[in-house]
Structure 1
Amino acid sequence: MFARIYQPAKTAMQSGKGKTRSWVLEFEQSAARRVDPLMGWISSDDMKSNQVRLKFDSKEAAVAYATEHGIPHKVSEPHGGKPVIKAYSDNFSARRRKPWTH
């Protein structure tokens, strides 16, 4: 079973960086999911890919855990985004490049 170690990105509903400091170890699916014919739910026999998600404080701790338990893993580095420092009043600034209209 192959594992992926990554730092989660913020959701679209967040403006801050909450809950993005930790590192996550998730197992990839070993079998395809299937649709239950009666209820229409999507299910899988693979418990690890559906229910096991381990959180660590650092990347080194996650890698150490995976190597200690003999889990093959791949580390995905986070993409460094450009920090945007902007205030609400900047929308109405006289130095604004584009006019603000509806």
Structure 2
Amino acid sequence: MPPVARRGFSVSALRCDVSTKSSSVPTPATNSSASGSGEERNLPTEQRERNDTAVEAHIVSDAPAELHQRTVRIYKPAKTANSSGRAGIAHWRVNFDLIQSSDRWENPLMGWASTADYVHNLNMQFKTKEDAIHFVEKQGWNYFVQEPKSARIRPKNYASNYSYDARKLRIHHTK
């Protein structure tokens, strides 16, 4: 029975010698070019190079052809108006634009809006804009980026709360 890969080793980097029964622990495979030169491997750089030279995903995926003709929008969502919190705005999102002829209708029984577009509600989140762009380019999709608009906060003077104004007193209705 061949030895089982233990936690901490990737299966692709293991070399198990089944001819000798003395060792049941797999050993990490070594790169013959790196071990001969005496320098250590830079794994993040190797992984980045391997990902950049990989085959684009749209070539090997089973996605329909009309999906590759769609345009996606990369954006960072704005803060919601009904709360003062900043939850849900840290990530960049990718979603598909609406098709004008997407066969939208109102469900007669419940009154819900329905659509035949199967990617209408597909939302993907990414930590950075660069990650989102890299993913979209890897998929072979057309895209555009909407940069977030920064909120303009006017400086307020605390003393203006108590300043005297000769105009008529303002009345605020609370109910």
| Fold conserved between structures, TM > 0.5 | yes
Shift of 1:91: 9.2
Q: Where do residues 1-102 of structure 1 align in structure 2 (5 Å cutoff)?
A: 1-30=70-99, 31-50=102-121, 52-83=122-153, 90=158, 93-95=161-163, 101-102=171-172
Deviation string, structure 1 residues 47-81 (Cα, Å, up to 9, x no partner):
2112x100011111111100000111110011111
Gaps of 5+ in 2: 1-69
TM-score with structure 1 setting the length? 0.77
Deviation at 1:29, TM superposition (A): 2.1
User: How well do the aligned residues superpose, as a CA RMSD in angstroms?
Assistant: 2.7
Q: Is contact 2:103-2:117 (8 Å) kept?
A: no
Contact persistence 2:73–2:145 (CA under 8 A): yes
Structure 1 CA distance for aligned equivalents of residues 164 and 74 of structure 2: 42
Structure 1 residue runs of 5 or longer lacking an equivalent are none
Superposition deviation, residue 20 in structure 1: 1.1
2:75–2:145 Cα contact (<8 Å) kept = yes
Higher helix residue share: 2
Q: Percent identity?
A: 32
Contact 1:92 1:100 in 2 (8 A): no
The CA distance in 1 between the partners of 2:96 and 2:112, in whole Å, is 21
Aligned residues: 98
Matches of 1:64 and 1:41, distance apart in 2: 36
Q: CA deviation at 1:95?
A: 4.3
Q: Distance in 2 between matches of 1:69 and 1:53?
A: 15
The two structures have a TM-score, normalised by structure 2, of 0.48
